[in-house]
Amino acid sequence: MSDTVNDEFDPVPPTTARVAARAMVLAAVSCRGIIEKDAGKSGAEELRQRIFPWLERIGVASELEPDEFKLISTPLGQLNRKKATNASWRSEGMVVLAWALHCAKRPTVHLQCDPSDIANEMGFLDDREKTPVLSPFLRDAIEIEKWADTYLTLHWRLRLITSDPGPKDFLSCVAGVAWGTLRLDELELMNRDIAIEGVPIDQLDFSTYRTMLSIVQERHQAFNWLLGLESVYSAVTTDT
């Protein structure tokens, strides 16, 4: 939990146009990570080679961070496993931005998105006219803030499983928090704690827990970026 608050910090949310550009970049980055496993397969390297020219063609290549450009420029078979995995997880940030742009339904909080489906909904590798870059439209800030608070709450509970394991009266924990805005109204509750499809969150098997933590962390980062906590996407923290 972060116990330092800068009362003078004034978030500057990204422009709608930049949200659209960042969504396209996350689609590109996650695709690059996912296809690393296809090194040597017919057409896989050709797909990678299409990514950067496409970003240039639709006018969003400037949104690429240096490490993202390096990742996309790396031929298949030359990424280490960690970098490929981290890149593939960017799809969970992508789905948040796609939702914010009215290009995707809001994802279930604990389930991985289908990266291909979400990217295709946004016109991945298609003409600019078929992407949200042409005429982006962002959801209301109040709705974005609501789900940012929800993911902050869920992320904190997941981290408590490691630092302070066992069942919790999480409703009382949330009521006593002064360091952030937490909300539980969109989460499943059981015995005054969060549950996932009828299973108390502290009883999730380890694999499910780790996957869910990765999902929530990536989405929390995307929401924090939408709130304007940092301008550079990779610099956004997910403190709880």
Among candidate residues 177, 49, 67, the one with its CA nearest the CA of residue 125: 49
Residues 51-73 pLDDT 10s: 999 999 999 999 999 999 999 99
Number of domains in the chain: 2
**Strands annotated E in 38-164:** none
Provide the pLDDT for residue 153.
97
Q: Are 60 and 131 in contact (CB under 8 A)?
A: no
Residue 32 lies in a domain: yes
| Domain match, 116 and 160 both | no
Same domain, 105 and 48: yes
Cα-based distances in Å from 144 to 13, 44, 63, 107, 233: 11, 36, 22, 13, 17
Average pLDDT for the chain = 95
Which 8-state DSSP code applies to residue 237?
Answer: -
> Token digits for 223?
């929401």
135 in a domain, yes or no? no
185-216, pLDDT tens digit by residue?
Answer: 999 999 999 999 999 999 999 999 999 999 99
43: how many CB neighbours lie within 10 A of its CB?
9
The pTM score is 0.94
Domain boundary pick from 71, 100, 130: 130
Residues 152 and 124 in one domain: no
3-class SS at 30? Answer: helix
Q: Which helix (H) or strand (E) holds 189?
A: strand 189-190
Same domain, 180 and 150: yes
Residues 26 and 115 in one domain: yes
Range of the domain at 176: 141-235
Residues whose CB falls within 8 Å of the CB of residue 176, separated by 6 or more in sequence, listed in order? none
